[in-house]
Amino acid sequence: MKILVAVKRVIDYNVQIRVKEDGSGVVTDNVKMSTNPPDDNAVEEAVKIKEAGKATEIVAITVGEEKAQETVRKALAVGADRGIHVKVDGIIEPLAVSKILQKVVEKEKPDLVFMGKQAIDDDCNQTGQMLAALLNWPQATFASRIEVKEKSLEVTREVDEGLETIEVNVPAIVTCDLRLNEPRYASLPNIMKAKKKQIEQINVSDLGVDTNPRIEQIKVEEPPKRKAGIKVANVEELVQKLKNEAKVI
């Protein structure tokens, strides 16, 4: 079984996001970047499946600018066997990413495609679902537990009402939830070994995919600052302020 894992380079989740003065986007220059957290869970699950003897190869893929290779190197250091970097400059939307992944899947012919449930930069939760539609493959989204069977997967999903368990045939698309596992840290020896592993570079123009944005971003603004709270003397005053000032009751 071959597993293709998609990873994305985003602003590190510990970094305070700052909006550019002209409102054209967020500041990324000299800002710490890292792998999208749910994508780390996807890589970890693929490695665990391989360690259990149920997968033979893990291929990590990223779509983005030159520096996006860092996310592939991290996946290689954790346990992926080889990497693919589809080079694209500028903003790329989920539909274009899905079409790029479709081309790579048709070439690599994996049995499973893993990715994070959503990206923390644009908060999109679309790529896995779109890819499943393009390939006409079954999908299991928001996976918090995965059990590999002979020709299928049993997946426990996070849903609004709690947990849902489904079974999907292989090949399939799986988007991973943060509760799926605890991603491991890459050891220094494995980081050094990862530098020698192969990363295939592909220009997006060679895939024949239109990456022009379909959404126009007009302006980016910071959310309004929260007002300081106040103290009230008793319940009656609280009710009065909620009714007459806040107008929430």
Whether 16 maps to a domain, the answer reads yes
Residue 29: which CATH number? 3.40.50.620
Instruction: Please report, rounded to a whole number, the percentage of residues in the chain having pLDDT higher than 70.
Output: 100
Full domain range(s) for residue 202: 2-244
pLDDT digits (tens, 9 = 90+) for 75-125: 999 999 999 999 998 888 999 999 999 999 999 999 999 999 999 888 889
pLDDT digits (tens, 9 = 90+) for 32-60: 999 999 999 999 999 999 999 999 999 99
Whether 249 maps to a domain, the answer reads no
Burial 40-79 (b: 16+ CB within 10 A, else e): bbbbbbbbbbbeeeebebbbbbbbbeeebbbbbbbbbbbb
Q: Taking 90 as the threshold, does the pLDDT of residue 9 lie above it?
A: yes
Whether 134 maps to a domain, the answer reads yes
User: What is the total count of domains within the chain?
Assistant: 1
